[in-house]
Structures are given as structure tokens and as C-alpha cells.
């Protein structure tokens, strides 16, 4: 059961297991790349009286504990995911804003070796690929026109 796995992860992170924490983990796990409003709506389906502030506090605590990852593509609100065990990247559609995970193209975490580290101890790299998803590209393509008649 996912809730049991979430409870174990929360305990392992040194946090107390609470209904709001379990609910937030379940919602984010079921709907990766959710924003705060989406998470709040999902949590309220199971915990009707939960406050907005409680969800913000839970998101902060779970992110600080390393149980959630927060990403914020330029021009977007913060998005949350439970996929934290690897250094994956994201694809963002410029038209509809959909976000998808994409694994590193080479090796396990190629982006962690910067060309000049400037004395930093790098522990994470964030790469965001921007483009247009297939659904938006298909929707914006004009209908195919017949080839014009050749000139004589």
C-alpha cells in the first residue's frame, strides 16, 4: 500500500507521520508536477477541513526533508514531485505548460560535472528542455494544402 510506504519514508526522514503529510504525499505521488492549488484540492478530497497554510507547511517540511522535489520552470508556479532518487530532467511545453520527466541522456548524472566548479560541491543539476508537446503541435498545424498546379 502506498500510504504505508509514505509513512515509512516520513518516519525515516525523522518526521512525525500525520494525516496531512500522508495526504500530500499520496496526491503528489498520484499527480507528479502538481502545483500547490492542485495539491490542496486533492488533499481536501480526503481531508475536508485542511487549511491552505497546513498544506503549504507540509510541502515545505517534505521538501526540506528530501521527500518531495520542488521545481519551478521559468514563468511557472512551483511544481512538486516524489521522484527524488535520481537526477532526472524535465520537458516543458511552451503552449500548454505540461511537464514531463526525462531521464539523463548519458550516464547516471552527467550534469553534475560542471566545466568549472568554482569551488562548489555540486549535489544537484536542473535541466529543463523547452518545446511544444505533440498534442499542441498537432493542434496548431494548419490542414495540409494540395500541391499547387505546376506552371507551364
Provide the b/e sequence for 115-129 (b: ≥16 CB within 10 Å).
Answer: eeeeeeeeeeeeeee
As annotated, the binding site includes 93, 96, 108, 133, 136
Which residues are annotated as part of the binding site for Fe cation? Answer: 108
The annotation places the binding site for Zn(2+) at: 93, 96, 133, 136
Phi-psi label, residue 117: left if phi above 0, alpha if psi -120 to 50, beta otherwise: alpha
d(CA 43, CA 39): 6
Q: Nearest 5°: phi and psi at 129?
A: -95, 130
Relative to beta strand 99-102, strand 89-93 is antiparallel
User: What's the chain's Rg over C-alpha atoms?
Assistant: 21
Amino acid at each position: 500500500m502506498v500510504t504505508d510506504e509514505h509513512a515509512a519514508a516520513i518516519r525515516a526522514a525523522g518526521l512525525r507521520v500525520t494525516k496531512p503529510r500522508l495526504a500530500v504525499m499520496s496526491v503528489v505521488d498520484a499527480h507528479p508536477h502538481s502545483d500547490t492549488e492542485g495539491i490542496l484540492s486533492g488533499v481536501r478530497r480526503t481531508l475536508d477541513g485542511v487549511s491552505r497554510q497546513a498544506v503549504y507547511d507540509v510541502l515545505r517540511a517534505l521538501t526540506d526533508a528530501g521527500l518531495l522535489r520542488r521545481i519551478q520552470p521559468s514563468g511557472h508556479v512551483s511544481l512538486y514531485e516524489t521522484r527524488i532518487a535520481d537526477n532526472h530532467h524535465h520537458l516543458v511545453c511552451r503552449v500548454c505548460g505540461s511537464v514531463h520527466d526525462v531521464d539523463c541522456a548519458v550516464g547516471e548524472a552527467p550534469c553534475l560535472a560542471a566545466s568549472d566548479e568554482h569551488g562548489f560541491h555540486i549535489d544537484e543539476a536542473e535541466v529543463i528542455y523547452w518545446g511544444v508537446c505533440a498534442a499542441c503541435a498537432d493542434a496548431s498545424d494548419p490542414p495540409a494544402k494540395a500541391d499547387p498546379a505546376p506552371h507551364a
